[in-house]
Amino acid sequence: MNNQTTYLLRDEFETIPFVDIILPYTYNFLEKLEVINISGELINKLHLTLLQQLGVIAEVTLQEELDSYKNNKGENYQEFVEITISLLEVKYPVLDKILKTKCDYYLIQVQKIFLNFDKDFPVISRTFSITAAKNKQIKDIDTSLGDGHNGEGTSLITLLDGTKLIYKPGNLHITNSYNKFIDWVNQNLNTDLRTFKCVSCENYGWLEFVTYEPVNSPEEFQEYYYKAGILLAISFLLGSKDCHYENIIASGKNPILIDHETIIQPLFANQSILSWDEKNKVPLLSVLESMLIANQDTGVPSECVGFGIRGSIEAMDIERKLLKPNTIDSNRDVRIVFRKLVKENVPFYNDTLVFANSYENYFIEGFSVTYNLFMNSREFLMSAQSPIMLFHNQKIRYVWRPTFIYFRILKHMRSAAFMSGFEVYSSKLHELLSKAYQKESFKNFKFILDSEMDQMLNGDIPFFSLNSQDHHLEDDKSFNIFKYSCIENIKCRIDSLSTHHKNEQIEYIKKWIKI
């Protein structure tokens, strides 16, 4: 590694907990980047991002180690750094593995972005109307947009002229199908819900970047929430899940659902094990399943709601925060912190966020006209010419548990006590994950728990892939875990359409707005 680079970035490093201890883990990452056509400025940024991620992972364990050092009369921070570097691999093998895996995965992610960009540039330039002569080079990458898995994650790519693209692992065929379904809705409702330009490859894709923008006038809120009601009806019909606040962008007068991997979902079979929705009293075949809205009588955290909740702008938390990092006086102390509950999912005008409460009638109208369209088009939607047929044979991500559950578990597992051995770490992880399984049904679902364990032991947020026509999960075809495949679930929802059912959903909407 170039030591000069380290010194040049020293000021930026100072805020990263225990940076001198985790820095050696990134040396191979830096060496590998030097063979890519990438600017020194971007290398520094990616290096800093990686170090920040490693710091979050290692902070709790290393602070406990520093506390132990000081309790044994240690007084020299540089001595502590040298001792810890020499013993970390042996004393905390789990942490050592997680840090090394994170570096390896991050390198793979960056390498694939550059490799695939060079390979796909001709089709990228055509699809997104990019001037080839000016932009055949990546200027900037933001790799923090989504869950990483096996070295890949959603990233924001900026080209030389400022053009921005989204790189997503996994093909985007489902986005193409979603776009065509939206086109059908737009045509029948004479509206203009946003669709996406995209390039879908076999295992990844390039997607149009959606910006968070204000509405141009107070009157545009009417259109925004009318369209939000349409999106809620669409998410119900398709059986969408995990449409949390990070997956909605308020772009001017357009609410946009940006992640389509869970836009269609299968219906869990009625087994002895409870689904996450059942445990949290989310009604089956309801508008509450998507997480775009929520009711107080369900267990869905208000902070996760896709369209937001009035007044829920930030929350006051009490947490342990690291003070005076990279000094002998470093310590984790209890502090009051404020956490934002709104990101880019609520529209704004003149720097003021505006929730659905003032536009309830427009929201309900958008939902109602779309619901009526589906109800009046029941026969067509069940036919071979239906836009629902576009979702046949699509690869999707199945939501076994919401992602925030896994995040909480991984955060809990950062203690030194769990990082000291693979057996204790695995045992605790198994204990936390297996609480969701009833003993009498454990045998049938063990393969899911095993997959969750394997993925989380690698530091990943678990996900499961399946075909939209499958009744089984992963490779276990002997056990039909789903009552209905994704396509059958949509048809089941079409069958459920009625005036009575619509009125039930409108009551859920009103309860959400009154929170």
HEC assignment per residue over 68-80:
HHHHCCCCCHHHH
Share of the chain above pLDDT 90, in %: 64
Mean pLDDT across the chain, nearest whole number?
89
- pLDDT confidence band for 311 (50 / 70 / 90): confident
**117-156 per-position pLDDT tens digit:** 999 999 999 999 887 766 678 999 998 766 555 557 889 9
**248-297 per-position pLDDT tens digit:** 999 999 999 998 989 999 998 766 566 778 878 899 999 999 999 999 98
Share of the chain above pLDDT 70, in %: 93
**216-234 per-position pLDDT tens digit:** 999 999 999 999 999 999 9
Q: What are phi and psi of 196, to 5 degrees?
A: -125, 135
Identify the bridge partners of residue 199 per DSSP, sorted by sequence position: 206
- At residue 276, the 3 state secondary structure works out as helix
Domain boundaries, the chain: 10-137, 213-390+488-514, 403-461
- The Cα 182–Cα 487 span in angstroms is 17
| Residues whose CB falls within 8 Å of the CB of residue 173, separated by 6 or more in sequence, listed in order | 200, 394, 395
pTM exceeding the 0.75 threshold for the entire prediction: yes
**20-49 per-position pLDDT tens digit:** 999 999 999 999 988 887 888 999 999 999
**178-226 per-position pLDDT tens digit:** 999 999 999 999 999 999 899 999 889 999 999 999 999 999 999 999 9
Interior CA angle at 209 toward 206 and 212, to 5°? 160
